[in-house]
Structure 1
Amino acid sequence: MITPRTAKQCGKADYGWLQARYTFSFGHYFDPKLLGYASLRVLNQEVLAPGASFQPRTYPKVDILNLILEGEAGYRDSEGNHVQARAGEALLLSTQPGISYSEHNLSKDKSLTRLQIWLDACPERENALLQKIDIANVARQLIASPDGSKGSLQLRQQVWLYHIELEKGEELSFELHGPRAYLQSIHGTVHAVTHTEEQEGLTCGDGAFIRDEANITLVADTPLRALLIDLPV
């Protein structure tokens, strides 16, 4: 079963220095039916104005994946660690209790646009505090996984996250690890096909809940950039 979650249905915020779209309950936006999906807790697209910052804050024990779409970001924690990430890179923060983290748009004249994903972390697992990889110009790239396979970022959870780039008319098939997945269009229009149904196209910013499907095929109706988050747990 495929259930769309369109960009128009998502929560929104505009604080001047920050414009955001929230797939799940976050900040001032609250929907008791949308507190997350399996181990996926947050999926935000946010635009920070030139020079804007998120001030230091602590987090629950989650893995925070930032996919930088435009601009360059700087991240610091209260332990003195810092890293920069720019468009075309993905950064993973393995948050720790009692440690605060801040984020900054390093440009004084350009906006910073990124997707941010929070995944519940298994309490007994510990990974490197900071990990970063380049997003390749390929149809399918595994960018995060439980074991860091194929050069991916290593998560503290049983989740596989794919970055997808397709030309119009191209298609990709996936064998899912379990009963749940989430599809997010970043740019372009895509429709998903399973053995039971064919979903109408999802366009830029739209997402879809995928339930109880062992396999799924994605077909690009336009040039496409998307994420597929395989969430068996």
Structure 2
Amino acid sequence: MKKILHPSSTRGNADYGWLKAKYSFSFANYFDPNRIQFGLLRVLNDDEIAPAMGFGKHPHQNMEIVTIPQYGAVKHKDSMGNEGIVAAGDIQVMSAGRGVEHSEVNASPKEPLRLFQIWVFPEEQNVAPRYDQKKIEDLIRPNTISTVVKPKSEASENDLWIHQQAYFNLGTFSEATKTTHTLKQPGHGLYLLVIEGQATVDNETLKTRDAIGIWDTSQVDIEVEESTRLLLIEVPMN
């Protein structure tokens, strides 16, 4: 087993007034040659967006994008004709494929918006752009780790999926729990972020917004304290 620790305090930082962002990997004006990506996970941004502010229309191409609001709601509009609200408790996926333009704006004129935006490299280039979103509560079970996004090749009609052999998992724990997470495919790594609370992973204690990347193993032992939420992203390492 190999691992890399990313304490919350070591993330990149940006403050544009309307946007306060923490970057797990190099992004925009933050560059660390040792933190370009984790396997095929390229971006994990932790953004706080001021009321009524956001990202105007901008393009993406050949990237799988997952957005998970933590509080507040984002107003989404794209060149595929999709327009709507993605609120805390929702999860959104978008395949940029051969090209898409979209905007993301805080839907509230008074309250801030906090969200994770995550980018994964696709396994197929120039696919047709697509968009989907679902309620997280329909995808998870309490006090366990549940897969909320999976590869297209494994997805059924009601699943969220992306064009990559990657898996997004969420765990919401109201009580202390010990569990073993088994990776879905050989050659994959697991990037685990503590959204809030505390967890011990491979004898490393992680607190809110701390993360660990683990690879060259098929299983990961996790000890979770009560009132903890986890995000686990499994990706090919090459």
User: TM-score normalised to the size of structure 1?
Assistant: 0.91
Pairing partner for 1:152 from 127, 152, 159: 159
| Shift in alpha-carbon separation, 1:142–1:151, aligned structure 2, 3 A | farther
Alignment of 1:165 onto 2:169: no
- Cα shift at 1:170: 0.8
- Cα shift at 1:126: 4.1
> 1: CA distance between counterparts of 2:79 and 2:122?
20
State the match for 1:103 in structure 2: 104
**1:15-54 superposed matches below 5 A:** 15-54=16-55
> 2: CA distance between counterparts of 1:207 and 1:10?
10
Q: What do the CA deviations read for 1:163-217 (whole angstroms, capped 9, x no partner)?
A: 011234212221112341100110011011xxxxx32211101110101111112
**Identity rate of aligned residues, in percent?**
28
Q: What do the CA deviations read for 1:77-100 (whole angstroms, capped 9, x no partner)?
A: 134322321110100011133421
**1:83-102 superposed matches below 5 A:** 83-102=84-103
Q: CA RMSD in A?
A: 1.8
Which structure 1 residue ranges, 4+ long, deviate > 3 Å from structure 2? 124-128, 149-152
**1:2-81 superposed matches below 5 A:** 2-81=3-82
Structure 1 or 2: more strand by fraction? 2
Which residues of structure 2 form unaligned runs of 5+? none
State the match for 1:129 in structure 2: 130
Contact 2:69 2:114 in 1 (8 A): yes
> 2: CA distance between counterparts of 1:225 and 1:75?
25
Contact 1:201 1:221 in 2 (8 A): no
Task: Give the secondary structure class of the aligned counterpart of 2:14.
Answer: strand
Contact 2:98 2:126 in 1 (8 A): no
Tell me whether 109-118 or 72-81 shows the greater mean CA deviation.
72-81
User: TM-score normalised to the size of structure 2?
Assistant: 0.89
- Cα shift at 1:57: 1.2
- Cα shift at 1:2: 2.7
> 2: CA distance between counterparts of 1:26 and 1:222?
33
Alignment of 1:212 onto 2:216: yes
State the match for 1:178 in structure 2: 186
> 2: CA distance between counterparts of 1:149 and 1:24?
31
Contact 2:62 2:126 in 1 (8 A): no
Aligned length: 228
> 2: CA distance between counterparts of 1:221 and 1:127?
42
| Shift in alpha-carbon separation, 1:154–1:87, aligned structure 2, 3 A | same
| Shift in alpha-carbon separation, 1:181–1:125, aligned structure 2, 3 A | farther
Which residues of structure 1 form unaligned runs of 5+? 193-197
